[in-house]
Chains A and B, each alone.
Chain A
Amino acid sequence: MAETEFEPKIVGFLCNWCSYAGADLAGVSRFQYPPNIRIIRVMCSGRIDPYIVLEAFTQGVDGVFIGGCHPGDCHYLEGNYQAERKIKMTRQLVKKAGLEPERLRMEWVAASEGERFAILMREFPKQIQELGPSPLSGEKPDEKLMANINAAKLAALDFRLRAIVSKERKIVEQGNVYNETKSQEEWDEFMEDAIEAEFERKRLLGLITEKPMSVKELASEIDLPTDRILDHVVFLRKRNQLALDSIEGFTPKYISIVPEVKA
Chain B
Amino acid sequence: MSNDKVGAVLVVGGGISGMQSSLDLADAGFKVYLIDKLPSIGGVMSQLDKTFPTNDCAMCIMAPKLVGTGRHHNIEVISNTEIESIEGEAGNFNVNLVRRPRRINEEKCTGCGVCGAKCPVEAIDEYNWGLTRRGATFIRYPQSVPLKFMIDKEKCIGCGICQEECKAEAVEYDQEEQKFDLNVGSIVLSPGYSMFDPSLKTEYGYGRYKNVVSSMEFERFLSATGPFAGTVMRPSDGDIPEKVAFLQCVGSRDSQAGSEYCSSVCCMFAMKEAIIAQEHSEGLKSHIFFMDLRAFGKEFDDYYTRAQEEHKIKFTRCRVAEVREVPETNNLIIKYVEDGEVKEEEFNMVVLSTGFRPPENVKEFAETLGIDLNKYDFCSTGVFSPLETSREGVYVSGVFNGPKDIPDTVAQASGAAAKASSIISSERGKMITPKEYPPERDVLGEDPRIGVFICHCGINIGGVVNVPDVVEYAKTLPNVEHAEHNLYTCSEDTQKGIKEKIVEHNLNRVIVASCTPRTHEPLFRSTTKEGGLNPYLFEMANIRDQCSWVHMHDADNATKKAKDLVRMAVAKSRLLEPLYKLELNVFQSGLVIGGGLSGMTAALEMAKQGFEVHLVEREKELGGNLRNIYHVLSEKGEDPQKMLKEIIEKVKNDDKIKLHLETTVKSIEGFMGSFTTELSDDTKIEHGVVIVATGGQEYKPTEYLYREDSRVLTQMDLEGKLAKDEIKPNSVVMIQCVGSRIEERPYCSRICCADAIKNALKIKEKNPDAQIIVLYKDIRSYGFREDYYREAADKGVRFIRYDDENKPEVTKEGDDLVVSINDPILGEHIKIKPEYVVLSAATLPQPDNEELAKMLKIPLSKDKFFLEAHMKLRPVDFATEGVFLCGLAHSPKFIDESISQACGAVSRACTILSDEIMELEPTISEIIDENCDGCAYCIDPCPFNALTLIEYMRNGNVKKTVERNEAACKGCGVCMATCPKRGVMVKGFTLDQISAMIGAALEVV
Contact = CB atoms under 8 A, between A and B. Distances in A.
Contact of A21 (B518, B937, B971): B518
Given A9-B1001, A38-B568, A72-B56, A43 B980 contact: no
B579 interface: no
Contact of A38 (B941, B981, B1001): B1001
Interface string A104-118: 000000111111101
A50 B974 CA distance: 11
B49 A61 contact: no
Contact of B549 (A7, A27, A52): A27
Contacts, number: 212
B90 to A, nearest CB: 38
Nearest to A31: B550
B570 to A, nearest CB: 13
Given A34-B554, A38-B568, A46-B972, A52 B223 contact: no
A21 B998 contact: no
Interface stretch (A10-18, A91-99, A187-195, A230-238): A10-18
B54 A72 contact: yes
A121 B561 CA distance: 14
A111 B937 CA distance: 31
B133 interface: no
B937 A166 contact: yes
Contact of A47 (B223, B542, B549, B977): B977
Contacts of B550: 26-27, 30-33, 35, 118, 121
Interface in B639-669: none
Interface in B949-997: 970-974, 976-981, 986, 989, 991, 994-995, 997
Contact of B142 (A29, A35, A51, A69): A29
B979 A162 contact: yes
B973 A111 contact: no
Contacts of A167: 937, 940
A38 B978 CA distance: 24
Contacts of B997: 40
A17 B995 CA distance: 22
A227 B972 CA distance: 43
Interface residues of A, number: 73
B223 A112 contact: yes
A59 B999 contact: yes
Contact of A115 (B229, B542, B558, B923): B229
B978 A24 contact: no
A79 B978 contact: no
Contacts of A46: 941, 943, 972-974, 977
Interface string B64-100: 1000000000000000000000000000000000000
B136 interface: no
A9 B1002 contact: yes
A39 B542 CA distance: 9
Contact of A61 (B974, B977, B980, B998): B998
A145 interface: no
B517 interface: yes
Contacts of A18: 57, 60
B546 A23 contact: yes
B730 interface: no
Interface centre among B545, B553, B938 (most CB of A within 10 A): B545
B516 interface: yes
B224 A113 contact: yes
Given A113-B224, A166-B938, A69 B544 contact: no
Contacts of B558: 35
A21 B60 contact: yes
Contacts of A222: none
Contacts of B230: 115
Interface in B531-557: 542, 544-547, 549-554, 557
Contact of B57 (A38, A55, A111, A121): A111
Contact of A77 (B58, B60, B879): B879
A44 B391 CA distance: 46
Interface centre among B230, B546, B552, B971 (most CB of A within 10 A): B546
Interface residues of B, number: 71
A252 B143 CA distance: 67
A59 B998 contact: yes
B113 A28 contact: yes
B63 interface: yes
Interface string B508-519: 000000001110
A170 interface: yes
A60 B986 contact: no
A49 interface: yes
A28 B545 contact: yes
A135 B859 CA distance: 48
B333 interface: no
Contacts of A169: 940-941
Contacts of B879: 77
B201 to A, nearest CB: 31
B502 interface: no
Nearest to A50: B977
Nearest to A79: B972
Contacts of A86: 977
Nearest to A170: B940
Contact of B989 (A42, A116, A157, A170): A42
Contact of B551 (A33, A73, A74, A110): A33
Contacts of A72: 54-56
Contacts of B232: none
B551 A34 contact: yes
A78 interface: yes
A166 B980 CA distance: 11
Contacts of B970: 76
B59 interface: yes
Contact of A110 (B57, B542, B923, B940): B57
Contacts of A39: 542, 546, 565
Given A32-B551, A42-B973, A27 B518 contact: no
A41 interface: yes
Contacts of A52: 991, 994-995, 998
Nearest to B976: A47
A233 B851 CA distance: 50
Interface centre among B142, B558, B565, B935 (most CB of A within 10 A): B142
A25 interface: yes
B973 A35 contact: no
A43 B1002 contact: no
B754 to A, nearest CB: 31
A35 B557 contact: yes
B935 A163 contact: yes
A47 B977 CA distance: 5
Contacts of A76: 943-944, 970, 972, 974
B564 interface: yes
Interface in B914-951: 923, 935, 937-938, 940-941, 943-944
B932 to A, nearest CB: 12
A241 interface: no
Interface centre among B223, B554, B980 (most CB of A within 10 A): B980
Given A17-B64, A32-B553, A112-B59, A55 B972 contact: no
A205 to B, nearest CB: 16
Given A33-B551, A55-B998, A167-B940, 16 more contacts: A7-B557, A20-B518, A24-B546, A26-B546, A27-B549, A32-B550, A35-B558, A35-B561, A38-B564, A38-B568, A38-B1001, A43-B923, A47-B986, A76-B974, A79-B973, A112-B60
Question: When A and B form their complex, which 4 residue pairs have the shortest distance between CB atoms, in order from nearest?
Answer: A47-B973, A27-B545, A27-B549, A76-B972
18 contacts: A25-B545, A27-B549, A35-B550, A35-B557, A35-B558, A41-B542, A43-B973, A47-B974, A47-B977, A47-B989, A48-B977, A59-B999, A72-B56, A76-B943, A82-B978, A114-B224, A159-B981, A263-B995
Interface of A: 7, 9, 11, 16-18, 20-21, 23-35, 38-44, 46-52, 55-56, 59-61, 69-70, 72-79, 82-83, 86, 110-116, 118, 121, 157-159, 162-163, 165-167, 169-170, 263
